[in-house]
Each structure stands twice: as C-alpha cells, then as structure tokens.
Structure 1
Amino acid sequence: MEITHQYAQTIVDRTMKILGYNINIMDSRGIIVGSGDKKRLNTFHQGAAEVIRTRRPIEITSDMARNLEGVKPGVNLPIYLNEKIVGVVGITGEPAQVRPFGELLKVSVETMLQEAFLAEQFRAHQNAKELYLYDLVMGNFEDEELFEIRGTALGFDMKLPRVGVAIKVEDLNVNDHYEAELILQKKREYLLTCIKTAFDNPQNIIGYSGSSSFTVFCVVGKTDTREIKRQVSAGIEKLESLLQRDQIRFRAGIGKFHQGLKGLRKSYFEAIKALLIGERTRYSSNVIYVTDVSLEILISSIPKEALENYICNVLPDSHVLEILKKPKFLQTLRAFFESDLNISMAARRLKISRNTVTNRLETIKKLTGLDVRELSDAIKLKLLLLIIELE
C-alpha cells in the first residue's frame, strides 16, 4: 500500500491537533505527501530517504539540517505496514524537545495506516463480491468451473442450493430529505446492511441491483417449495422488523430452485418477474413467490392479439371494458377473488357494506352477462381482471 496525500494529510491534521508540533509524512520515495507546512508538500526529504535506506530512525539537529536537502531539524522514524517500510514520519523541532513524542507518533501513524489499509482491503473485497453478483446475474460465466473457483476465492461455496430473491424498496426518493445524492447513498448502504443482517448466512450472495433494488441469492437447506418459502420468509420477517422503525416499505419476489449457475440465474429472473407482477396486480402480500403468480405469468406470456381476441369474445362490446376499468369495479372483483368468492369477507376487505358489494357484482353481471358467483363465469372474469391489471 502506497501512502497517498489524502491518507497522509488526514493523519497529519489529526495528530498535530494533539501534539502541537509540525509533522511530515513521506512516502517510500522520500517525497513529502502530508505536512503541516503546505509549502513542503511534494518536495524531496533527504533525511527520509536515509531512513528508508538504513531502516533506522534519524535525528537531525539544526546544524545537520543546513547540509541536507529539504530538511529541517527533527526526528524521523520509519513507518511499517505488514512488516514492510512504506514511508517515514517526521516531527519538526530540536531532537531533545521532540524525541519523547517520536515513538508515540510512529505507533499512532502505523495504527491509523493499518486501519486505512484494512478498510481499503474490505472495500476491495466488497467490490469483488458486487462484481461477482453482477456477472452471475448477467450470465458472464462461460467457464462455469472457473466461475465457481472465483466464488470460492470470495468465500462462496457455489455447490450449495440457492434461490433468487429480488427486493425493491418503495418511496426511496420521495422524501426531500433524501434527495441529496450523498444522503441517498448512505440510506442505500443502510438498507444493504439491514438486508445482510436479515439474511445473515455468510454464504448468501447479496448486493445492489438498482437505485432502490437489491438481490439476494439465498442459501436454502431443502429445495421443495414449502421449505423454500419457510426459509426465505424467515429472512423477510427479520428485514421487516429491522425496517419497521424507519417506516420503510418494500416488496420481495422469490424464484424457484433450479440446478447449476444457469438455474440460479433463472431463479433470479423468476423473482424479478414475480416482483413486477406483484406491483402491477397490487398483490395483497408484499412477498410474492413465483409459483403463487403462475397464472399471471402465463397470461403475461400470451401474445397481445390473443388477449384482445379473448376480451372481444367474453364482453358484449368494447365500451363495457372501459366501464369495468373503473376503480370501484376492479377493486370489488379483486377483493372478491382474494376472499375466495365470499361476499362478506370482500366487504370487510373493502370496508364497505355487504349490500354495496352485492350491488356492484350485479352491475358487473348486467354489463358483461357474467355472474361472478358461477364457477365458469368467475374464471372468465378472473382472467379478464388479470389481463386488465397486467396491461
């Protein structure tokens, strides 16, 4: 790790406030990269070069300084990072005065550099994980064996069964307080931390997938549908609990389990599809498993012309469709189907009287000729509702 001006100057500014003496930090070439005397930045320090050569501290008096390039009296000590000299720290003043602070200064600078080094290593590791997730989503793994080895280097056992989970946070940009890019980024980092806390298995692959979207490749112990729902739901519930205090809402789509890297990518796109369908159809739950919207996925794959033909065959004329699209009729049909065709339950969902629900269903019957309480007609109206919602 090379000592940059940014690192060095930060350390100098923090340390000078405590010691009250001018401090210089030189890189491995003997160039001053941090100093309380800004005029000395980017100049060569001969004393530092000698410390690097001999690997020993040097004390320079006023008399000695007159004969050296770019040097003032003081104490100069080597800076070690991971047992390697990476620079020199110097404290300006007569050695007899500043000598007592020298070793303390050296330890402080090395500690701060070690912290910066670890932080940089952590960021690099996180960036590598983000890139790995991106390549997995994009299908950039022509050599699957090599891709799995790369995952192993990042700490992931790619033989473990996983499913794709797509999470989208709602209203992330609504509040003016969060419109500033820096604050928005901090909120995104906070959300990512919450997701990692909720899905706390270190084998889960987690990262950003958009400004308000996140991806989790969640490890599952068993791969049958019921167990996948149970395992992923546990993480979702933890996330809801973490975000509840901040009143942050989100939706999540969950894909099925499929074998291999291509199967994992397929699971991710299933999760995305489930999430999008949940948004379009105003799905009652904020968590949508792909098998729960299999009918909606089927309809969304049907050519538009075929759907238009179906509408023409089911409805007496085109203006009926526009009437059905009115919110009160769509909401009533949706509530009725979500209540398993129970009028009383639908009325409670809508917070209206049972008679109002009955009257609306009668109006729909007169308009369409379809009685929602008859099974065959209910199926036709259910399909019609989904087509409208998925437009």
Structure 2
Amino acid sequence: MISKQLANQIVEQTMLRLHRNINVVHTNGRILASGDRLRVESIHGGARIVAETEKTLVITEENNHLFQNAKPGINLPIFFQNELVGVIGITGNPVDIAEWAPLVQLTTEMMVHQALIASQTEWKRKLRETIFEDLMTQQPLQKAMNDRLSKIGFFHAPPFYAITLDADPKLTAYQSFVEHMEDFFIHESVIFGKYQVNEHFILVSGMDAKAIVNKLTILLTQVKKYFNVKIGIGLPVQTLEKAFNSYEMAKNAIEYGDRKKTINFFDEVEVFSLLKKSDSQEALLFTNRTLKGLNNKLIHTLVVYFSNNQQLTICSEELGIHRHTLTYRLNQIHELTGYNPAIFQEAIILQIALWLRNK
C-alpha cells in the first residue's frame, strides 16, 4: 500500500507540474494526502468506488452528489505489480483534464513502483543482515528462521559456505558494495550484506567451491575499479547452525592468507591459524576432522610412529607387533584420514592434530 509519506511526495511533485489539486487515496477510500489539507483523512466516496471496481471514475457537476465528499474530476486506480495500491484523484473539469489524466496515472505508478521497490529492497537487506547476525549466535534454528529464509529466497540445501569480503571503496560516491551484490546474486541462493565496517558476508547454499570461485572471480572483475577487495572462504558445513564456524574460518583465511592473493581459502592457511589460536573452536574442529575414525589403538600407533621418526622397525619393536602389522595399521590411518603418515607434508598435519588433541 501507499504510505502517507509517499502520498505527500506524489501530491507535491504532481501539483508542482500540473497546477491542479491532487488527492492520493487509500484503497479504503481514506484520503492520505491532498493539495487541500482540509480533505486529508476524510473519506472520498468516488475513490472508494474506484478501489472496489479498479476502474477510472469521472465525476461531473451532474453526478457529484452521488459520491461522498467528492468534487468534479477524474479518479484513477494505481497499480503495483498488478495489485491495486491506491487511487489518484485530479480535481477539475473532466473535459479539461481528460487528455493528460492517463499520463498522471502512469507517472504516479512509476513513482509508486520506484518507492515500493526501494522499500522492499531495504526490507530484504535488513532481513538478510538480521538472519546472518542470528546465525552467528550459534543458536538452534527455529521455525521463524526457516520462514525468514524462504522470504529472501534462500534454499536450505547443504553444503553451506561462509565467505567474508573486505571491501575498501576507492570512490566513496559510487554505489555500495551491497548494492553490487544485490544485482549480482539476484538469482542465487545466498545471504549477503554488510556485517562490520568494510566487512561484508556471503553465505552460499548448495554450491561447490569451484562454482563459488568462478562466481566471485566474475564479481571481482566488475567491482575492482571501485573497490579493493580481499576474500576469505571458509570450509563447508552441513547445517546452518554451524555457519558461524565457517565464517570464523573465512575471516582467518584473510587474516593468515597470502597478502598478494585476492581470494584465500581457510584450508590453505588452517595450520597457520591453528598455531596462533590453538585453543580456538577451529582447532577442535581441525583435530576432530583430521583424526576422524581413528580408535585409540590407531592413535597410539601414530604417536609411537612419529616419536620414532617414522622408522618402522623401531616403532614395531616398541609396539610389540610385527612390521607387517604396523604397515597395515598405517595404511588404515591413511584410508580413514586421507593423510599418509609416511609422506612428510601429510605427516605434519597428522602430527599437529595429535599435538592439539593432547594439549
């Protein structure tokens, strides 16, 4: 519906050019704004008929008495996205104003369209940011949250990737980074917005890492003239309740990532961040994920294997098992974790996970 503020703007702008009295009327017949201040808040009988029939009504001196609080003129319906949102009335001799009454109707609908689209955009923007802030509290999802997600077109489909963007504007007069993202992600299932000063967030649903990088690369080519952008991408999570973890990883990706790179992934800098934040939630997640599936026997085998500098003979003797049995256990560890303890770079990851586990 048309607000009083918008109704006053329509009256002011139209009368400035038309030099005729204008009434903007609610769909219930109540006058929201008028060049004749005394008519505001009163019921316009003619406009109420227009709202009921959704058809233009011409009021003359002859039929004026049939409509409550009406004067001669033309009253026209105002539509927004095929829905009646109000009525505009032009006071005067219908013969004199008939030629340009449709133009007034069209101009009014354009003003309404622009204002309501802007209002809807701002409402969605605030809703997205509120949703993200709520997700950052790590509370269980309520039904109300699911309703809000559907209103912004976000599909609850894992995996979920959290992304942070540090966007430092080169030209402060240029449209905001959020507006760029609104245009760019209009057909995608994402939540995005501004979170901190120069810090923006994106939460992506149902898209793999490669597709995300492709989208972000295109976005960067569009905005690099106006913004210096650094992007951090967290690891995927399977539930929205864990979006906080992915977002913390994304921020660490920027903090500990390669300064020369525009896009940094958390898994590329995970070890560096863990060594600096060994008591963090990320450290716990890293340890659990890296050592997943290992029972106490395999973990003990790994500890002894590393403590003996990966020497099979010495390790098997200390464990009191045959060398072939040790090799079998190490192969099991490789299969369960995805890291080969016999390869230096992968052994480091397993060793750090053990250190953090035993802190």
CA-based RMSD of the aligned residues comes to 3.9
Aligned-pair distance for 1:211? Answer: 2.6
Equivalent in the alignment of 1:234: 214
Q: Tell me: CA distance 1:242–1:285, structure 2 relative to 1, closer, same or farther (3 Å).
A: same
Q: Tell me: CA distance 1:48–1:293, structure 2 relative to 1, closer, same or farther (3 Å).
A: same
What is the CA deviation profile of residues 220-279 of structure 1, one whole-angstrom value per residue up to 9, with x for unaligned ones?
655xxxxx3x44433343233222323x2122222112322233331111112222334x
Any stretches of 5+ residues in structure 1 without a counterpart?
Answer: 223-227, 304-391
Matched letter for residue 238 of structure 1: I
Matched letter for residue 136 of structure 2: V
The question of 1:289 aligning with 2:288 is answered: no
Q: Tell me: CA distance 1:59–1:149, structure 2 relative to 1, closer, same or farther (3 Å).
A: closer
The question of 1:245 aligning with 2:225 is answered: yes
1:160 and 1:219 in contact (8 A); partners too: yes
Q: Tell me: CA distance 1:283–1:85, structure 2 relative to 1, closer, same or farther (3 Å).
A: closer
Q: How many Å separate the matches in 1 of 2:51 and 2:205?
A: 52
- Report which stretch shifted further, 53-62 or 208-217: 53-62
Equivalent in the alignment of 1:59: 59
TM-score for both structures, normalised by structure 2: 0.62
Equivalent in the alignment of 2:40: 42
Equivalent in the alignment of 2:8: 9
**SS of residue matched to 1:167:** strand
What is the CA deviation profile of residues 41-67 of structure 1, one whole-angstrom value per residue up to 9, with x for unaligned ones?
6252544466368747251429958x9
- In the alignment of these two chains, the number of paired residues is 278
What is the CA deviation profile of residues 308-339 of structure 1, one whole-angstrom value per residue up to 9, with x for unaligned ones?
xxxxxxxxxxxxxxxxxxxxxxxxxxxxxxxx
1:1-391 matches, cutoff 5 A: 1=1, 3-16=2-15, 19-37=18-36, 39-40=37-38, 42-44=40-42, 46-48=44-46, 51=49, 55=53, 57-61=57-61, 71-79=70-78, 86-110=85-109, 112-143=111-142, 147-148=145-146, 150-170=148-168, 172=169, 178=172, 187=174, 190-195=176-181, 202-219=188-205, 221-222=207-208, 228=209, 230-246=210-226, 248-278=227-257, 283-302=259-278
Q: Tell me: CA distance 1:92–1:258, structure 2 relative to 1, closer, same or farther (3 Å).
A: closer
Query: Of Structure 1 and Structure 2, which has the larger fraction of its residues in helix?
Result: 1
2:22 and 2:91 in contact (8 A); partners too: yes
Q: Tell me: CA distance 1:51–1:159, structure 2 relative to 1, closer, same or farther (3 Å).
A: closer
Q: How many Å separate the matches in 2 of 1:209 and 1:269?
A: 13
Equivalent in the alignment of 1:381: none
What is the CA deviation profile of residues 90-147 of structure 1, one whole-angstrom value per residue up to 9, with x for unaligned ones?
222223323444455445534543554444444434443333333223324344x774
Q: How many Å separate the matches in 2 of 1:264 and 1:4?
A: 37
2:166 and 2:231 in contact (8 A); partners too: yes
Q: How many Å separate the matches in 2 of 1:96 and 1:197?
A: 45
What is the CA deviation profile of residues 123-179 of structure 1, one whole-angstrom value per residue up to 9, with x for unaligned ones?
434443333333223324344x77456534532222232321111123x4xx8x84x
Q: How many Å separate the matches in 2 of 1:240 and 1:26?
A: 46
Matched letter for residue 217 of structure 2: E
Q: How many Å separate the matches in 2 of 1:200 and 1:74?
A: 43
Q: How many Å separate the matches in 2 of 1:254 and 1:33?
A: 49
Any stretches of 5+ residues in structure 2 without a counterpart?
Answer: 280-359
Q: Tell me: CA distance 1:191–1:161, structure 2 relative to 1, closer, same or farther (3 Å).
A: same
2:192 and 2:200 in contact (8 A); partners too: yes
**SS of residue matched to 2:237:** coil
2:80 and 2:113 in contact (8 A); partners too: yes
**SS of residue matched to 1:263:** helix
Q: Identity across aligned pairs (percent)?
A: 23
